[in-house]
Chains A and B, each alone.
Chain A
């Protein structure tokens, strides 16, 4: 029986330099927290600001919660256009992440196989369009000609494979010991089976991480939606959000705004906050994979 080497932890007394360093790190992180938290808090408090509020933005950030008004949220949630746009964004998110992963994973896996004939050229085939983007008009023509224009998939199919994400995933797959794949092949597994039964179960971290990257980009995708979607019933949240943020008609034309009596600034802040909620809510569940995934993807071998 082998003797196991035992390690004991030794408490090292921190020096004054350690204390100073830790203080500086804490200070830096504290400042960073403030830089992130203050605008967020400002947006949240602005979204709860009542119509009859008197004071500047700074004072508004310290408005006590019992003086808050939920009129902006009530107006948004009671607005059919908002709910329709939210629904469309969810469809784009689900369809986008599913199709992106469905296409990125096999491509990354194929590119990670060192013995693949023509691998070099295939890699070039993937990287060249990444470096030399064809631009908006040819893409628009392609989307139109294949009949995707004015459909929700037009927002995510043309960008379903991100070369950057694919390369990260390829690096991750290359890091999986080849012996595992070889033994599976010896047992008679096909490449598809190896991918599904060996590679994917070992790749949860990178799949969740890349999935999050894709999810955030599809959720926030304004430009493609603006360009490719014509039907009013297909407009997603970023378009509505832009319309709300750009709205000037609320002040200058109508007697009652599209969102009732809620203050305009509160409506704008509430719509920004609500559109961020799904991503913010998803992040804690993905965080453990995210940290691991980004690190693993960065180290080869």
Chain B
């Protein structure tokens, strides 16, 4: 009987071991004389659109012209998932040859010796370097005096603006507010005087949602124009004279009083604490509020503007100047230079792939690579208009257009070639006539107007130290309690709370941030 038991156990073990190779299809590198295999983990341009198809013409061109067998892996859409995937691969010394990575993860990989310096690559890629990299981008990836990543240009800077419903102002006989006091009056009128004339009490002055990041702390980006009026926009003051956390400045209290007034009087959409980005964007399209800070394309791109145009053919948003505060301050908010960092693994360098990677990146910056990765194949995914700008018109299959559902898959690598040049912007934001109101719109014109407004330079403020989770919670919870009335907002309470904040680590956070900014020459005159 014992023998049978052992046979049974042996069978289970055998089954387990035998099944593994059956399933396994481990990938092997290319043959010695064949094309050089390069694994690229990239951030997709449109995460939900799917990767380039297996028969994408780009693979053949790259293999034929550069002798490179390019293997693509789309990184997860969420940054923390990206970090986990990269760090797990790093722990197994299994990093891909070329990969997108966030700066703080890159710093860890540098300390572990898993990524290679790229200083020598800049001169090997003259075309790319001319359009993609500058002093700021090189400094962004510099550790111990060496650049460990290629920081490509990220999103367009200063691409948001303060918008106001011009049709509501006209209905109420008001003009665009310029000061904080005038803004209060307009917000009150938008809330209580039925600006859309529908006979219902269903509108509010200001609309927002909580959107915070390293350099735009709570209450976040959507309320920066209000904070800017008091000179406390952004998490950090990046000037030499007043460097430090803005929350420690006395004017922050004044901004809080103003925000509390907006909340108490009910002139800010009360859902601003509950809205997510999609809810906020659905709300302005439904005519719920008349003043907001919004991004140019999210506001004016054809598909984004269409619902508003249909709902309110006579509606009109205009980009306004930032509001002036009591001391004359005005700002839409802080801006920083966003980068997408691509790093090269030390393993890839050991395998002699560095030159090939430089060759690949330089080809991407050539006309051929730029148009292929940015827009696809001419005549299939795009055509050029009279000015040489890629457009989605006149294609045999509109679905394959670079902006169409299928065409987007072949331009997933466009973030590796785009640098916010004029051609890209013209192609990205073409002029169009709205379907219902028949007015001409251009997200590019809107962008140019938004960029012409007053912003606060804060380059590098997104690299400054971040607070501990507990301190961040204390910061955000405290401010929200003051604004919503759970804590009484007066000078005494505010000073007590600030003292507590400093004691809990706020002062240390401030000091470290200022020291970092000074060390890295990030402060402005």
Contact = CB atoms under 8 A, between A and B. Distances in A.
Interface in B87-121: 88-89, 91-92, 94, 96
Nearest to A141: B92
A199 to B, nearest CB: 12
Contacts of B492: none
Interface stretch (B44-52, B137-145, B356-364, B374-382): B44-52
B496 interface: no
Given A113-B5, A191-B5, A227-B84, A146 B408 contact: no
B469 interface: no
A55 interface: yes
Contacts of A227: 84-85, 88
B20 interface: yes
Interface string A221-247: 000001100111101000110111011
A68 interface: no
A287 interface: no
Nearest to A81: B50
B5 A116 contact: yes
B23 A153 contact: yes
A137 interface: yes
A256 B408 CA distance: 9
Interface in B1-21: 1-2, 4-5, 7-9, 11-12, 15-16, 19-21
Given A51-B306, A75-B405, A231 B73 contact: yes
B77 A147 contact: no
Interface string A192-231: 1000000000000000000000000000000000110011
B26 A137 contact: no
A253 interface: yes
B49 A258 contact: yes
A44 interface: no
Nearest to B51: A232
Interface string A61-79: 0000000000000010011
Contact of A151 (B23, B46, B88): B23
* Residue from the set A79, A102, A232, A246 with the largest chain B CB neighbour count within 10 Å: A232
A189 to B, nearest CB: 10
A81 B297 CA distance: 25
Interface in B21-72: 21, 23-27, 39, 41, 44-54, 72
B184 to A, nearest CB: 26
5 contacts: A52-B311, A75-B405, A246-B77, A255-B303, A258-B49
Interface in B404-436: 404-406, 408-409, 428, 430
B81 interface: yes
B46 A250 contact: yes
A81 B286 contact: no
Contacts of A159: none
A106 B408 contact: no
Contacts of A35: none
A51 B307 contact: yes
Nearest to A192: B8
B384 interface: no
Contact of B81 (A137, A141, A242): A242
A117 B430 CA distance: 77
B7 A191 contact: yes
Contacts of B9: 110
B281 interface: yes
* Residue from B25, B281, B310 having most chain A Cβ neighbours under 10 A: B25
A162 to B, nearest CB: 15
B45 A249 contact: yes
A115 B6 CA distance: 12
Given A231-B73, A242-B77, A258-B405, A106 B12 contact: yes
Contacts of B286: 54-55
Interface of A: 51-52, 54-55, 75, 78-81, 84, 95, 99, 102-103, 106-107, 110, 113, 115-117, 136-137, 140-141, 144, 146-153, 157, 185, 190-192, 226-227, 230-233, 235, 239-240, 242-244, 246-261, 263-265, 267-268
A258 B406 CA distance: 7
Given A227-B85, A251-B298, A261-B306, 10 more contacts: A54-B286, A79-B50, A95-B23, A141-B91, A227-B84, A235-B74, A253-B428, A255-B302, A265-B278, A267-B48
Listed residue (B20, B73, B81, B303) with the most chain A CB atoms within 10 angstroms of its CB? B303
A151 B24 contact: yes
A153 B26 CA distance: 11
Contacts of B297: 251-253
B304 interface: yes
Nearest to B74: A232
B163 to A, nearest CB: 15
A230 B96 CA distance: 10
B282 interface: yes
Contacts of A147: 20-21, 24-26
Size band of the interface chain B makes with A? 35 or more
A137 B92 contact: yes
A226 B281 contact: no
Contact of B20 (A146, A233, A240): A146
Contact of A239 (B76, B287, B311, B430): B76
A54 B39 CA distance: 47
B85 A226 contact: yes
Contacts of B5: 110, 113, 116-117, 191
Contacts of B2: 117
B483 interface: no
Contacts of B72: 232
Nearest to B402: A254
B20 A148 contact: yes
Nearest to A222: B81
Contacts of B8: 106, 110, 191-192
B518 interface: no
Contacts of B84: 136, 226-227
Given A51-B306, A75-B405, A250-B46, A242 B11 contact: no
A233 B54 contact: yes
Contacts of B307: 51-52, 263
A48 B264 CA distance: 36
Interface in B268-321: 277-278, 281-282, 286-287, 295, 297-298, 301-304, 306-307, 310-311
B306 to A, nearest CB: 7
Contacts of A257: 46, 48, 303, 405
A242 B80 CA distance: 12
A251 B11 contact: no
A108 to B, nearest CB: 11
Given A81-B409, A149-B26, A226-B76, A137 B88 contact: yes
Contacts of A81: 48-51, 409
A100 B89 CA distance: 26
Contacts of A265: 278, 282
Contact of A107 (B12, B49, B73): B12
A56 B93 CA distance: 50
Contacts of A153: 20, 23-24
B403 A255 contact: yes
A248 B47 CA distance: 8
Given A239-B76, A247-B77, A255 B88 contact: no
A140 B39 CA distance: 18
A103 B277 CA distance: 46
B78 interface: yes
B405 A230 contact: no
